[in-house]
């Protein structure tokens, strides 16, 4: 056993050394990039964890318990905040989907949005809450939250979604997510550990004292943004898309495309109907703060142990996903969720028993830190496969439907709070009872002294320092409300589980989709003359491998040989044979998918589509929109008795609508007729941008070597201005290209389908170029070696 572990450790060290800067075969992310994404994530999550505590939500401790905004008022602010997020989410989505540059889609915004987040968060805690009226407290919190809706959500999504474009390999993404989740979880663990200590040392153990957050949060935020730079500097995005694909995605076009993605709706529905699941989340804090269930030192230990539970889930998630698949892991962990939350009900009298069940729930719950982004990445690959567009940002825009739904659902918990006794009137009534205010809490202070200290910190009277949550000092109110919240959490967890039974995007299908995307992109570049020799070789290798493998027989897998093995060597050999057979079976399935993709034009359905494409293409760029290819009414009147007929009708309706949109756009932008856009303009512009980036990088190196050199400073400023002008030209060209693509969409779609069909049909002619391409690549390598 020890020798086996030692061998594995040696292999790992060897792999890390050899693939520190270049990924292993079949992978896309080198170890250096994984380390940067993960350890830089500690900084990201210092910011995320802190700002999350400032975001309007029912049950928010900082806004409700510390600032003192009542649950119902908090819900009203939440509604306004969500409504304000609608245009901001659309803006974010548009920016992301239309970002195309050397830096990538997400990387630039990790820094650009992170810095404003830190500034806003520091300012948030230093507002004079308590000294202002309740109205102005609410206005202040709302104002900051509207800003957070843009900057913070943009910052967090940029980091979380970066994994979607670091690798198209689903299992590799899962492995990186598992490691990243374990590493970045240090941030909330540190925060949860030090906050009770600081509270005990300086604020009498009162976690509701605003000064605690004023002095603890700013240093952590600054450390966070410094570490975040590591992610930006050391990662590189890789998106499988044709080089010639430079199109600005219009909001409504992307919205229509995402709305048809069934997997997006399954995952979204799970969250929408399971909104009550997190109702139990404040139980530990309430037990400590309002019932004195433990000392501040014990509370620090409890939060640290609770946080440690997440570590094990994140460690084992990649292994579980690899062995059982995402769906089975999703269903199993959610079932465990229901059981562990239900077990809290008879345990609330003892914080340590509560901790034990929360710890178990944290283990299964933390699988979601790996599962959720991994599933989201797979869904985006599926989206690109079905629509041809990589529209990552627009998923958030469609998710606004969920925000609208949550406007109703999120009102349930505040209503439970209020009906359970969390109101300012009830709190004042509770704190006027000497039997309650004279109770000594965990740090040796009475409840009266705790509220008095809060009044002094805020510079207000004792009566004005009372907030609605102080009603929880009454054990009767506390006990009743906690049981109700646990019950509704169980219901929420059960509802959350149901949609996952319909999720059927397997790991094998995702791999097949990614390989098909790669072949499509390579052939699209071949058709446009933009395919490099290296990419041509890769495409031919992929197709040839699929042709060779697709005809193989799928082996019947059995673990009988492993069980019947008598010696260790026989067992290892049987396991190895089983793995190889399983791997070959997967390759056979993927290869059959690729062959099906390349032979799809032999089916009647695709032949009909191809015939229509030829009709549209033959009408010409300025003829297709003038002809009535398929009137909308006629399209809608097509039969829909079978699944295939419904698909044909849907495509006819879409084509008719696209043609109508084209007519409007041609009338607006091309009154003299559509003029094809010259794609070669991008080659010059991107080349100029790359040269500008490299020049700027070298100029900064010179500046850091000699900061007193004024000429270098001046040169840096000049390069930045040049780059700004180049990017303005890129944006202008992208806008023009996008208008062209939207106006000519039916004709360009027809052209793309015809080119794809011809590439697939004449694959053998393309494959004949393989040897010449290989020779040129070898010659290039030899020349580079000589020059080196």
Q: What is the pLDDT of residues 62-93, one digit of tens each?
A: 898 888 888 888 888 988 888 888 787 767 76
- Closest by alpha carbon to 71, among 405, 402, 417? 417
> Where does the pLDDT of residue 240 fall: very low under 50, low under 70, confident under 90, or very high at 90 and above?
very low
Residue with tokens 């905004």: 69
pLDDT, average across residues 7-27: 76
pLDDT tens for 322-361 read 888 899 999 999 999 999 999 998 888 899 999 999 999 9
277 neighbors 412 (Cβ within 8 angstroms): no
d(CA 304, CA 191) in angstroms, rounded, equals 9
Contact residues for 124 (Cβ-Cβ < 8 A; gap 6+) = 54, 144
205 neighbors 443 (Cβ within 8 angstroms): yes
pLDDT(628) > 70: no
pLDDT(216) > 60: yes
DSSP H helical ranges for 706-769? 710-743, 745-761, 763-767
d(CA 702, CA 364) in angstroms, rounded, equals 51
3-state SS class at 440? strand
**pLDDT for the residue 241:** 47
**pLDDT for the residue 17:** 82
pLDDT(374) > 90: no
Tokens of 510: 């995702």
Percentage, residues of the chain above pLDDT 90: 22
**pLDDT for the residue 251:** 61
Residue with tokens 């499509």: 520
**pLDDT for the residue 244:** 47
Cα dihedral across residues 667, 671, 676, 679: positive or negative: negative
DSSP H helical ranges for 292-410? 296-324, 326-342, 351-365, 367-387, 394-398, 400-409
> Where does the pLDDT of residue 460 fall: very low under 50, low under 70, confident under 90, or very high at 90 and above?
confident
- Closest by alpha carbon to 82, among 409, 394, 404, 408? 404
pLDDT tens for 414-430 read 889 989 999 999 999 99
**pLDDT for the residue 74:** 87
pLDDT tens for 477-505 read 999 999 999 999 999 999 999 999 999 89
pLDDT averaged over every residue in the chain: 84
Q: For every residue of 442-500, which 3-state class applies, written as one string?
A: CCCCEHHHHHHHHHHHHCCCHHHHCCHHHHHHCHHHHHHHHHHHHHHHHHHHHHHHHHH
**How many other C-beta atoms can be found within 10 angstroms of the C-beta atom of residue 494?**
19
141 neighbors 76 (Cβ within 8 angstroms): no
d(CA 502, CA 483) in angstroms, rounded, equals 32
pLDDT, average across residues 733-756: 88
Contact residues for 134 (Cβ-Cβ < 8 A; gap 6+) = 68, 69, 73
**pLDDT for the residue 220:** 95
Kindly give the interhelix angle for 533-550 and 507-528, rounded to the nearest 10 degrees: 140
**pLDDT for the residue 684:** 85
Note every long-range contact of 583-590, with CB atoms under 8 Å and residues 24 or more positions apart, other chains counting. Answer: 584/549, 584/552, 584/555, 585/554, 585/555, 585/557, 586/508, 586/511, 587/549, 588/549, 588/550, 588/552, 588/554, 589/508, 589/512, 589/554, 590/508, 590/511, 590/512, 590/515, 590/546
- Closest by alpha carbon to 321, among 181, 470, 114, 220? 181
pLDDT, average across residues 104-116: 87
pLDDT, average across residues 142-158: 91
pLDDT, average across residues 519-536: 77
pLDDT, average across residues 531-549: 85
- Give the residue, 511 or 260, on which the prediction is more confident: 511
> Where does the pLDDT of residue 638 fall: very low under 50, low under 70, confident under 90, or very high at 90 and above?
low
Q: Which helix (H) or strand (E) holds 606?
A: helix 604-618
pLDDT(254) > 60: yes
96 neighbors 147 (Cβ within 8 angstroms): no
322 phi and psi angles, rounded to 5 deg? -65, -40
pLDDT tens for 295-333 read 888 888 998 898 888 888 888 888 898 888 899 999 999
Tokens of 532: 């490099």
Tokens of 114: 């992170």
Report the half-sphere exposure of 612 (CA within 13 A, side-chain side). Answer: 17
639 phi and psi angles, rounded to 5 deg? -65, 150
d(CA 5, CA 456) in angstroms, rounded, equals 59
d(CA 538, CA 535) in angstroms, rounded, equals 5
């Amino acid at each position: 056993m020890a020798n086996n572990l030692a061998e594995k450790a040696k292999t790992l060290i060897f792999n890390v050394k050899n693939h520190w800067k270049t990924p292993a075969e079949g992978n896309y992310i080198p170890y250096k990039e994984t380390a940067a994404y993960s350890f830089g994530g500690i900084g990201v999550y210092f910011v995320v964890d802190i700002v999350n505590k400032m975001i309007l939500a029912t049950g928010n401790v900082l806004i409700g318990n510390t600032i003192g905004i009542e649950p119902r008022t908090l819900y009203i602010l939440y509604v306004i905040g969500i409504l304000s997020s609608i245009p901001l989410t659309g803006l974010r989505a548009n920016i992301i989907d239309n970002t195309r540059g050397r830096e990538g889609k997400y990387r630039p915004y990790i820094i650009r949005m992170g810095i404003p987040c830190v500034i806003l968060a520091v300012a948030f805690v230093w507002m004079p809450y308590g000294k202002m009226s309740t109205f102005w407290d609410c206005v202040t919190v709302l104002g900051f939250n509207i800003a957070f809706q843009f900057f913070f959500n943009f910052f967090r999504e940029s980091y979380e979604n970066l994994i979607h474009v670091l690798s198209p390999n689903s299992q590799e993404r899962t492995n990186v997510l598992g490691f990243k989740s374990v590493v970045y979880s240090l941030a909330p663990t540190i925060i949860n550990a030090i906050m009770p200590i600081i509270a005990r040392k300086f604020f009498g153990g009162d976690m509701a004292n605003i000064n605690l957050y004023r002095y603890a949060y700013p240093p952590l935020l600054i450390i966070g943004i410094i570490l975040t730079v590591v992610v930006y500097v050391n990662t590189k995005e890789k998106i499988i898309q044709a080089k010639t694909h430079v199109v600005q995605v219009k909001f409504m076009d992307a919205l229509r495309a995402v709305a048809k993605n069934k997997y997006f709706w399954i995952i979204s529905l799970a969250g929408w109907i399971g909104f009550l699941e997190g109702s139990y989340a404040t139980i530990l804090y309430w037990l400590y703060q309002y019932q004195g269930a433990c000392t501040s030192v014990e509370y620090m230990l409890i939060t640290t142990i609770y946080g440690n539970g997440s570590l094990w889930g994140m460690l084992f998630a990649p292994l579980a996903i690899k062995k059982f698949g995402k769906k089975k892991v999703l269903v199993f962990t959610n079932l465990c969720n229901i059981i562990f939350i239900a077990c809290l009900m008879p345990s609330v009298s003892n914080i340590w028993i509560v901790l034990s069940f929360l710890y178990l729930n944290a283990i299964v719950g933390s699988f979601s830190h790996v599962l959720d982004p991994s599933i989201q990445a797979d869904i985006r690959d599926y989206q690109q496969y079905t629509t041809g567009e990589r529209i990552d940002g627009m998923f958030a825009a469609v998710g606004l439907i969920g925000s609208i739904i949550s406007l109703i659902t999120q009102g349930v918990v505040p209503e439970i709070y209020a009906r359970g006794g969390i109101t300012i009137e009830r709190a004042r009534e509770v704190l006027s009872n000497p039997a309650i205010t004279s109770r000594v809490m965990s740090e040796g202070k009475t409840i009266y002294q705790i509220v008095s200290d809060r009044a002094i910190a805020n510079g207000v009277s004792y009566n004005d320092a009372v907030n609605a949550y102080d009603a929880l000092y009454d054990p009767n109110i506390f006990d009743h409300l906690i049981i109700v919240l646990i019950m509704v959490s169980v219901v929420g967890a059960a509802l959350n589980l149901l949609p996952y039974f319909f999720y059927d995007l397997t790991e094998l299908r995702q791999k097949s989709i990614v390989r098909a995307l790669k072949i499509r992109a390579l052939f699209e570049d071949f058709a446009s003359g933009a395919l490099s020799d290296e990419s041509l070789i890769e495409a031919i290798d992929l197709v040839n491998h699929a042709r060779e493998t697709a005809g193989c027989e799928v082996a019947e897998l059995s673990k009988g040989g492993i069980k019947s093995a008598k010696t260790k060597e026989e067992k290892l050999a049987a396991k190895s044979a089983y793995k190889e057979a399983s791997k070959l079976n997967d390759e056979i399935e993927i290869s059959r998918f690729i062959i099906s993709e390349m032979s799809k034009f032999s089916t009647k359905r695709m032949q009909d589509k191809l015939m229509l494409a030829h009709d549209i293409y033959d009408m010409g760029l300025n003829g297709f929109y003038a002809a009535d290819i398929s009137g909308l009414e006629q399209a809608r009147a097509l039969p829909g008795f079978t699944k295939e007929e419904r698909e044909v009708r849907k495509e006819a309706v879409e084509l008719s609508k696209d043609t109508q949109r084209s007519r409007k756009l041609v009338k607006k932008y091309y009154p003299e007729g559509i003029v094809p856009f010259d794609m070669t303009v991008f080659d010059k512009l991107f080349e100029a941008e790359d040269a500008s980036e490299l020049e700027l990088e070298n100029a900064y190196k010179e500046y850091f070597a000699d900061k007193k050199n004024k000429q270098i400073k001046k040169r840096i400023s000049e390069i930045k201005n040049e780059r700004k002008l180049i990017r303005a030209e890129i944006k202008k060209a992208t806008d023009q290209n996008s208008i062209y693509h939207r106006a000519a969409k039916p004709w360009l779609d027809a052209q793309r389908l015809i080119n794809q069909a011809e590439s697939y049909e004449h694959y053998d002619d393309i494959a004949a170029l393989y040897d010449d391409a290989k020779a040129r690549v070898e010659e290039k390598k030899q020349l580079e070696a000589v020059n080196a």
